[in-house]
Chains A and B, each alone.
Chain A
């Protein structure tokens, strides 16, 4: 088994000093996919797993479990400046995005049937995009995906014009806080400013931002915000939708009426305590982490481009992107060739969105940014996180040159007839 095993020492593999990969050693550069779980989280969850009690039960064991859940809710609220009652626990980012988009759409249209438009961007995560496509296909929503510039940033003027064309027909707007592929931050504050003039609710998927940049639910002005545990050192399968108290939402899951009657289902106390522990750690360490990640990322970008001069950095420069994100296009390469070659050397990264069969598709984000399909398919994301070190960057830089060279050779002879 490669990678960390749960012991503190193995977990801190990043402290190893070798500049090149040793057999079995993993250089993990895919924190945006999922990031290592904090040992404190594992400890807290393990404790809770051993505790009997359904948080909805009325007896002592139930009350004890409920107490853990409510304390966790308060911790999360405190970490991102929300009220505890605004925290709705879910199974993660995808569920939160589905709940926000579908739930807000149905609730808003129920009040006024003219509200059928949903405004968003062309670069949202598929959890949002596919939910919106579903709303369009099944329940008559008119989805308008606003364009982005060549860094992936929403065109705010286009958004404003689209709203003003007929504000009364807009059910909601949903704009991610930062793009999961290229790391570009979105002008969510401007979106809120424009939408709020007309009382249009705004949802934002912030799963990539938490722990990387300051996150303040109250100050953001958004009505609903998606966060998830496994991007911040918490568990998989547990997230939350931050939902303003006064916002009405139609539920997706019906049953016992848990979570404000918005999300039925037995409350996952171990997951929730893990999420809360991670949220506290992620937010507490955020400023120092962001500074370190920016430095590592800038170093990574500079040195990768030294070795591969025609590697193009995608996304916004400097402060306009997530501290841990470096996303490149390598001309003449297939991203999945490069990924495989790096994987064989213990360097783990991502080509972007993969479907369930594991086939990398040309990224809709890069296509929306105006890249052609060949460029989109020749791209890799390296993402840094709370365990990243300078050695990780050194190990990548040591092998990226030959890997690109070899992937280029394969790219010429290989795949995709249109580019051969």
Chain B
């Protein structure tokens, strides 16, 4: 089964698995709900244009095509989680959650039950067979497009039934191939924003769901510098849009250091105060076996972020990472993804970031 979003990547991925001789069926996942309709209040129809693009790609490739309505599941597992995480002062990654709960869970399970052997997607990542015979998830060849970070939540069973045909290609090559194959989506722009926030205004979208809140903006000494209309408008590491009238006494920019959702208190401070060298993660997920001992490795702490050399331990089902290279502006709710070379070891949700050593 080829999951086809209507974009160029998944179209080329589907074409490649079909050309490789697999019996391929294209499926577009309708994820969004559109309540503005005469019909039922929950039609999975607001992605009509994307669904049509996917359908046309399937026509060109010559494979059957269907639309599966995952809107209920998506709403429960991804959208509601996204809102709840922001309400709790964290910064979630909905793509990761979607991969964990929808694409490689609900969709994969359904596909397997219906008789498919695997799900192919247009993610940029590579799968290799490890020495022990297991499937390993690796970074893509194209570092600019690598999406192994958002796939770090997949376990061995999920990886064993996944195909990522684009992992060895660059985006440029994929677009050229789409053009060569006559796929009309060849020049369709990449999607960047959160798919269910169509205008890209995350703060406004959250305000509509969480309501206008209130709280103080304080410095690390506790002095009140200003107020805000909802802590969900802030992310750790954020500099712009703090709305503070008084400049810092030293005249340097201020950054969000911490968000306390119950009182709504947002703490700001200097760039130096953002620097952390220790990260704790909860709900770890392992691509293979969890590391038995302390692991010298690298961690990535946000999508498209840098790698930081680290020492990782698993303690009582939690992940503790000592960063040998400090990081800055690490937001709870994002994932810490653990890499051994190009291989993804696993991931966890960042619960806390702090300092082992004094500044």
Contact = CB atoms under 8 A, between A and B. Distances in A.
A415 B69 contact: yes
Interface string A49-82: 0000000000000000000000000000000000
Nearest to A416: B72
A239 interface: no
A362 B110 contact: no
A337 B1 CA distance: 13
Contacts of A343: 64
Contacts of A358: 28, 51, 55, 66-67
B67 A406 contact: no
Interface residues of B, number: 32
B110 A414 contact: yes
Contacts of B66: 336, 340, 358
A336 B40 contact: no
B160 interface: no
Given A357-B51, A359-B69, A415-B73, A406 B38 contact: no
Contacts of A264: none
Interface stretch (A103-111, A126-134, A202-210): A126-134
B77 interface: yes
B114 A407 contact: yes
A382 to B, nearest CB: 19
B170 interface: no
Interface stretch (B42-50, B234-242, B286-294, B337-345): B42-50
A64 B69 CA distance: 51
A413 B69 contact: no
B40 A359 contact: no
Contacts of A416: 69, 72-73
A218 interface: no
B325 interface: no
Interface string B69-107: 110110111000000000000000000000000000010
**Contact residues on A (Cβ < 8 Å of other chain), bracket:** 20 to 34
A5 interface: no
Contact of A417 (B47, B48, B77): B77
A386 interface: no
Interface in B30-46: 30, 38-40, 43-45
Main secondary structure of the interface of B (DSSP, over half): mixed
A344 B39 contact: no
A415 B45 contact: no
A364 interface: yes
- Most chain A C-beta atoms within 10 Å of own C-beta, residue among B45, B72, B110: B110
Nearest to B113: A410
Nearest to B114: A410
- Most chain B C-beta atoms within 10 Å of own C-beta, residue among A336, A343, A344, A361: A361
B38 A415 contact: no
A139 interface: no
A357 B45 contact: yes
Nearest to B42: A361
B48 A357 contact: yes
A24 to B, nearest CB: 13
A410 B64 contact: no
Contacts of B43: 355, 359, 361
Contacts of A7: none
Nearest to A126: B39
B114 A341 contact: yes
A364 B109 contact: no
A415 B106 contact: yes
Contacts of B55: 358
Contacts of A360: 69
Interface string B239-254: 0000000000000000
- Most chain B C-beta atoms within 10 Å of own C-beta, residue among A130, A336, A414: A414
Contacts of B52: 357
Nearest to A339: B66
Interface in A108-152: 126, 129-130, 133-134
A417 B73 contact: yes
Contacts of A133: 38
Contacts of A355: 39, 43, 45
Given A336-B68, A414-B106, A362 B47 contact: no
B25 interface: yes
B290 to A, nearest CB: 26
Contact of B39 (A361, A406, A409, A415): A361
B77 A357 contact: no
A357 B67 contact: yes
B287 to A, nearest CB: 22
- Most chain A C-beta atoms within 10 Å of own C-beta, residue among B30, B45, B55: B45
A126 B75 CA distance: 26
B115 interface: yes
Interface in A396-420: 406-407, 409-410, 412-418, 420
A356 B110 contact: no
Contact of B30 (A357, A406, A409): A357
A364 B113 contact: no
Contacts of A344: 25, 64
Given A359-B43, A362-B40, A415 B110 contact: yes
Contacts of B64: 340, 343-344
B39 A413 contact: no
Contact of B110 (A337, A357, A361): A337
Interface string B307-329: 00000000000000000000000
A413 B25 contact: no
B39 A414 contact: no
A364 B39 contact: yes
B109 A413 contact: yes
Contact of B67 (A337, A359, A364): A359
A410 B110 contact: yes
A355 B71 CA distance: 14
Interface in B225-279: none
Contacts of B44: 357, 359
A416 B115 CA distance: 19
B48 A364 contact: no
A361 B109 contact: no
A374 B207 CA distance: 33
A417 B66 CA distance: 20
Contacts of A361: 39-40, 43, 69
Contacts of B69: 336, 359-361, 415-416
A416 B42 CA distance: 12
Contacts of A415: 68-70, 72-73, 106, 110
B82 to A, nearest CB: 15
Interface of A: 126, 129-130, 133-134, 336-337, 340-341, 343-344, 355-362, 364, 406-407, 409-410, 412-418, 420
9 contacts: A340-B25, A340-B114, A341-B115, A357-B47, A357-B52, A358-B28, A359-B69, A361-B43, A415-B69
Closest 10 CB pairs of A and B: A414-B110, A410-B113, A413-B109, A358-B67, A357-B51, A133-B38, A409-B113, A359-B44, A417-B73, A357-B48
Given A129-B38, A343-B64, 7 more contacts: A336-B66, A340-B66, A362-B40, A414-B109, A414-B110, A416-B72, A418-B72
